[in-house]
Each structure stands twice: as C-alpha cells, then as structure tokens.
Amino acid sequence: MSISIGIIGGAFPVLGLASYMCLLLTLTFRQNIIIVQVINWLVYPIQILLLIPFMKLGNAIFGGSDMTLTFHQVVVAFQSGILNGLKLIGIISLYGVIAWVVIAIPALFILYSLFLFLFRNIKKIKLKTSMVGVSGTQKLNTKIQPAIPSLILETLPVKNKV
C-alpha cells in the first residue's frame, strides 16, 4: 500500500504539493512514510508528464472548450512560486486536481492489488544455488576466495573417521 500511495500521491497535478499529498495519504492510510516519500520522489517525472493531461481531462469533465495549454506555459506560471502559479493557472489547476481524484481512487486500489499479488508471490521465486564440494584430495588449509569481497569464509578442520 505504501508503494501505491507513493505512486498516486507523486502524480498529484500541482507542482510542489505532491509531497504534502503523499503525507496526507500516508497519515490517512497509516503507511510507512519513508517508503511513500521515496516512491514519490522516484515518480516525480510522472507528475510532470501527467500535469497537462490531468488539466485537459478535468476541463473535459466539466465540459469546457478545447484548451491549448502547453507545458511551457505551466512552468512559466509556477516559476515565481506556487501561489502565483495557482493564481495564473487557477481554475485549470483545480480541474487537474479533480481529474486526479477521479483517476486516483480506482488506480490506488488497482495498484495496491497488483503490488499485493506481486509481493505475496515473490516468495515462490527460488534462486538456484550450486553447492561447492571439496574433495578429499585437496589440502584443508587451502583458502577459498569469496565471491563477495566483504564476505569472510573460514575453513574448519574436519575430523577423519577411521
């Protein structure tokens, strides 16, 4: 659920407010704030890509005329601050937020179901490991080079049964 909230909250269509939306959703659903915020930061490019489509979808939901809004216009409006950007873009931003809410509610539960299925079945994936055997003709004092340099392997003396 934390990953799903991070993705949905990270796509919030108002620049600068996605972290606050993620915080609100995290507190509402009582999830791990660190996971949610990391996912939020990772999906930041998605927020930028979906900004204009959310605004256009919101405009279409309310039956507005065909609008010609470019990403450059939105960036210029928000460069002097969030409040100035909201004032200049105003109602179109509100349309984007409403479109986000319409899409976010079912998308949250779809993503949650998808990740729940994925994480429950990830245990079934077994990593194949090979056993390395030491034959009796090798010396016991031979040092084994670890595959991972930080891993320290020691050879233990073996008692011979006679």
Helix, coil or strand: residue 134: coil
Identity (one letter) of the amino acid at 129? Answer: T
- What phi and psi, each to the nearest 5 degrees, are found at residue 49? -65, -35
Cβ neighbours of 124 (radius 10 Å)? 6
Tens digit of each residue's pLDDT (9 = 90 or more) over 61-109: 887 777 777 778 777 877 887 777 777 777 788 888 999 999 999 999 9
Residue from 13, 14, 30, 15 nearest 5 by CA: 30
Whole-number average pLDDT of the chain: 79
Query: What count of other Cβ atoms lies within 10 Å of the Cβ of residue 11?
Result: 23
Residue 144: its pLDDT value, please?
Answer: 58
In this prediction the pTM is: 0.64
Phi and psi torsions of 135, nearest 5°: -80, 160
